[in-house]
């Protein structure tokens, strides 16, 4: 996609089609790829499978994408904001409730998109993709630190905590929230998670 080549996803993407019918075919291929990657796994999904699920010829697939990896990268380029945890407004009058709402919305978006389920299969094998996601996480971490620094300037945070470590801790907890049920007897309560994060950063 010519207008996105300057973004975090390297490589040559075919230009976006201009005709509505062609745009709909590309959209159908992306949706079919997303669904099949989740259902079958990335390795077991072929370009032929994706084309068949989108009700187009296999040759049509290659008009829009060079291979299934490029389709995946296009999916991630479109959805990467959904994969990253939200940056809260630490200066909010009620940061706990705001953060709980942001986390709840984030987890619902993740579940709806579902593409994050494919990443554990891919990241150990694709260093380029792993690097892209790691850079996105660094950017989110930096933004959280900057927000906490503003809060500290207003005297809102604990004076003796390291803000970089606090931001990292909040990021790790937020990212792994959906996995809580695998390690305990109950799913994550976003309000409790938000309360723990804020207690770690702000005095009562």
CATH of the domain at 67: 1.10.10.60
Residue 3 has pLDDT above 90, yes or no: no
Instruction: Say yes or no: 112 and 190 in one domain.
Output: yes
Question: Distance between CA 160 and CA 158 in Å, rounded?
Answer: 6
**Percentages (nearest 5) of helix, strand, coil residues in the chain:** 70, 0, 30
Domain shared by 12 and 89, yes or no: no
DSSP annotation of 11 reads: S
Question: Do 178 and 91 belong together in one domain?
Answer: yes
Task: Based on the fold, state whether residues 13 and 33 are members of the same structural domain.
Answer: yes
Domain with residue 178: its CATH number is 1.10.357
pTM: 0.76
User: Both tokens of residue 105?
Assistant: 């919305």
What range does the domain containing 97 cover? 84-201
Q: How many domains does the chain have?
A: 2
From residue 161, how far is each of 82, 157, 191 by CA, in Å?
29, 8, 23
More confident residue, 18 or 136: 136
Among the candidates 77, 100, 120, a domain finishes at: 77
Write down which residue in 77, 101, 121 finishes a domain.
Answer: 77
Q: How many residues does the chain have?
A: 204
pLDDT at position 161 over 70: yes
Kind and range of the H or E run holding 152: helix 127-153
The owner of tokens 């809102």 is 156
Residue % of the chain over a pLDDT of 70 = 91
Cα distance between residue 28 and residue 168, in whole Å: 38
Q: Where are the beta strands (DSSP E) in the chain?
A: none
| Same domain, residue pair 45 and 112 | no
Q: Which of 77, 95, 122 is the last residue of a domain?
A: 77
Query: pLDDT tens digits, residue range 169-191?
Result: 999 999 888 888 888 888 899 99
Q: Are residues 170 and 140 part of one domain?
A: yes
Using alpha carbons, list the distances in angstroms from residue 66 to 47, 69, 202, 203: 10, 8, 50, 54
pLDDT of residue 168: 96
* pLDDT given for residue 2 in this prediction: 34
Choose the weakest-confidence range: 80-84, 155-159, 193-197.
Answer: 80-84
pLDDT tens digits, 109-153: 888 888 888 988 989 999 988 998 899 899 999 999 999 999 999
Q: How far apart are CA 204 and CA 193, in angstroms?
A: 16
Question: Are 72 and 159 in a shared domain?
Answer: no
What pLDDT does 18 receive?
A: 66
Per the CB < 8 A criterion, the answer to whether 68 and 50 are in contact is yes
* Residues 46, 89 share a domain: no
Confidence at 38, pLDDT banded by 50, 70, 90: very high
Shared domain check, 98 and 26: no
Helical pair 95-113 and 68-83, crossing angle rounded to 10 deg: 160
Furthest C-alpha separation in the chain:
62
Tokens of 124: 């150990």
Quick one: 68 and 151 in the same domain? no
C-alpha to C-alpha distance for 164 and 141, rounded to whole angstroms: 8
The percentage of residues in the chain with a pLDDT greater than 90, rounded to a whole number, is 56
Is 1's pLDDT higher than 50?
Answer: no
Specify the pLDDT at position 85. Answer: 84
Is residue 67 scored above 90 in pLDDT?
A: yes
Q: What is the mean pLDDT of residues 67-92?
A: 85
Check whether residue 40 and residue 90 sit in a common domain. no
Whether 45 and 138 map to the same domain: the answer is no
Q: What pLDDT shows up at residue 16? A: 65
């Amino acid at each position: 996609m010519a207008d996105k080549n300057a973004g975090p996803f390297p490589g040559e993407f075919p230009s976006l089609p201009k005709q509505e019918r062609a745009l709909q075919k590309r959209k159908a291929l992306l949706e079919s790829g997303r669904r099949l990657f989740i259902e079958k796994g990335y390795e077991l999904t072929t370009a032929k499978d994706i084309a068949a699920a989108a009700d187009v010829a296999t040759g049509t697939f290659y008009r829009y994408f060079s291979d299934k990896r490029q389709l995946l990268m296009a999916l991630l380029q479109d959805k990467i904001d959904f994969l990253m945890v939200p940056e809260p407004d630490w200066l909010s009058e009620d940061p706990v409730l705001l953060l709980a709402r942001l986390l709840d919305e984030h987890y619902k978006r993740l579940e709806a998109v579902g593409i994050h389920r494919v990443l554990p299969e891919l990241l150990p094998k694709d260093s380029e993709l792993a690097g892209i996601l790691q850079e996105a996480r660094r950017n989110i971490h930096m933004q959280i630190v900057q927000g906490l620094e503003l809060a500290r300037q207003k005297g809102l945070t604990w004076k003796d905590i390291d803000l970089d470590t606090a931001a990292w801790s909040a990021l790790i907890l937020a990212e792994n929230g959906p996995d809580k049920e695998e390690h305990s007897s109950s799913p994550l309560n976003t309000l409790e998670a938000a309360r723990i994060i804020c207690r770690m950063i702000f005095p009562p």
